Amino acid sequence: MRRTSHKLADGREIIYFDADEHAPPRTAVDTRDLPPVAAASEIRLDPLSGEWVAMAAHRQTRTYKPPADLCPLCPSKPGKPSEIPESDYEVAVFENRFPSFAQAVSGSESTVDGLPMVPTAPGRGRCEVVCFTSDHDRSFGQLSHRQVRTVVEAWADRTAELSALDGVRQVFPFENRGEEIGVTLHHPHGQIYAYPFVTPKTARMLEVARAYQAEHGRHVLGDVLAAERASGVRVVARGAHWTAFVPPAARWPVQVQVVPHRQVPDIPALTDAERDDFASVYLEVLGRCDALYNRPLPYVAGWHQAPVGAGREDWWLHLELFSVLRSKDKLKYLAGSESGMAVWVNDTTPEQIAERLRAAH
């Protein structure tokens, strides 16, 4: 894998990943006249839930649904420079110009005026955009096995490097797909958030895993995985090193967890064989998802990785994909119970979801 790092016109880093040894050298220069990035991120601790909330008002001006011929994630063309200076690329990763978290944020730890019980801090971290392919009209599920492997290598590289940044506590690679999810750029891409705190979901999952380990002497996800592989009722796809299944308490109308058979904390810990097998299993999952309603499925897919530092030995890496689409033309809205009280009501069962996905091809 060839890795090439350059700077964009405003000083942001861009990194090219090439699996093809004969790919041209990545030497193009960003010719745009860009002002410096001005991120003003802040985090505040909710005094009632104990959860951090990010404030990033500068993101109001971010790019919103540009026409395809002005897509900022396509390769640059004569007279139409983009965020990618090269005329073609395999996988490209660059710092987000409108980040929720950034390294250069100023300020210090404090509290909200008049509210000493509400701590504040600079939103120091990093947000990156991962362009899966230069082809504007493809999707992740239409990539070749080799292309997916290149993306996995990029995820592993970025996880390792971002985890080493001062103040970063967790790295989260994810993809938002489809307008129903809120996507404003249609080029196939994902993002990576390097958070300055451990996310609420991860903290809760660690708490549950540690309690289960103390009682049973085993990891809870390991036991769930073994039971799912044995029964097969909710299994959607199988490989030599990974199994994809609908979680037994699925919240979403479409939801799949892709879990490695070996306990590892994060993507960099995966072997080459595990990375190869993930590409095969995940492509099968995405193919079934798009065949489910015979249309591109809107989804969020994200990697649940161990926090940086404490908690790594208690974690089991997995990817989770979910969709808000409950039928071909109907959405599941997060209404009173889900949004107000975080109590989920699913209109179907995990077994029905799995059965429909297995039948879709």
Tell whether the model's pLDDT for residue 68 goes beyond 80: no
In angstroms, rounded to a whole number, what is the distance separating the alpha carbons of residues 202 and 214? Answer: 18
CA dihedral 246, 177, 275, 6 (to 10 degrees): -160
Whole-number Cα distances in Å, 145 to 89, 211, 289: 17, 38, 17
| Rounded average pLDDT over 14-31 | 95
Domain match, 24 and 173 both: yes
pLDDT value, residue 327: 92
User: Domain ends where: 180, 197, 214?
Assistant: 197
Final residue of a structural domain among 152, 177, 197: 197
- Is the per-residue pLDDT at 106 higher than 90? no
Q: How far apart are alpha carbons 131 and 151 in whole angstroms?
A: 9
Residues 192 and 283 in one domain: no
Whether residues 22 and 135 fall in one domain? yes
Lowest mean pLDDT among 18-22, 50-54, 263-267, 283-287: 18-22
Q: Are residues 38 and 71 in the same domain?
A: yes
Give pLDDT tens digits for 197-247: 999 999 999 999 999 999 999 999 999 999 999 999 999 999 999 999 999
Structural domain boundaries, residue 222:
201-359
Do 170 and 137 share a domain, yes or no?
yes
State the pLDDT at residue 59: 72
Identify the CATH number of the domain in which residue 86 sits.
3.30.428.10
Same domain, 96 and 34: yes
- Report whether pLDDT(64) > 70: no
Residues labelled catalytic: 189
Binding region for Zn(2+): 71, 74, 136, 187
For 315-357, the pLDDT digits (tens) are 999 999 999 999 999 999 988 999 999 999 999 999 999 999 9
Same domain membership, residue 190 and residue 208: no
- At residue 24, the pLDDT reads 95
Residues 15 and 26 sit within 8 Å (Cβ to Cβ): no
Q: Enumerate the known binding-site residues.
A: 71, 74, 136, 187
Q: Which of residues 160, 177, 197 is at a domain's end? A: 197
Q: Are 142 and 242 in a shared domain?
A: no
**What is the rounded average pLDDT of the residues 300-319?**
96
Our count of domains for the chain comes to 2
Tokens of 2: 């060839």
Q: Residue 70: is its pLDDT beyond 90? A: no
Beta carbons of 26 and 94 less than 8 angstroms apart: no
Which stretches does DSSP call E strand in 239-298? 242-245, 254-260
Mean pLDDT of all residues belonging to the chain = 95
Is 218 found in the same domain as 161? no
Say whether both 188 and 84 belong to one domain.
yes
Q: Which amino acid is at 153?
A: E
pLDDT digits over 175-188, tens only?
999 999 989 899 99
User: Are both 188 and 208 inside the same structural domain?
Assistant: no
- Phi (first) and psi of residue 323, to 5 degrees: -135, 150
Residue 300 confidence (pLDDT): 97
Extract the runs of DSSP E, i.e. beta strands, from the chain.
2-7, 13-18, 42-45, 52-55, 91-95, 110-112, 115-122, 126-131, 170-177, 189-195, 235-238, 242-245, 254-260, 299-304, 318-323, 325-327, 330-331
Task: Report the half-sphere exposure of 310 (CA within 13 A, side-chain side).
Answer: 6
Predicted confidence at residue 104, as pLDDT, reads 84
187 and 303 both lie in a single domain: no
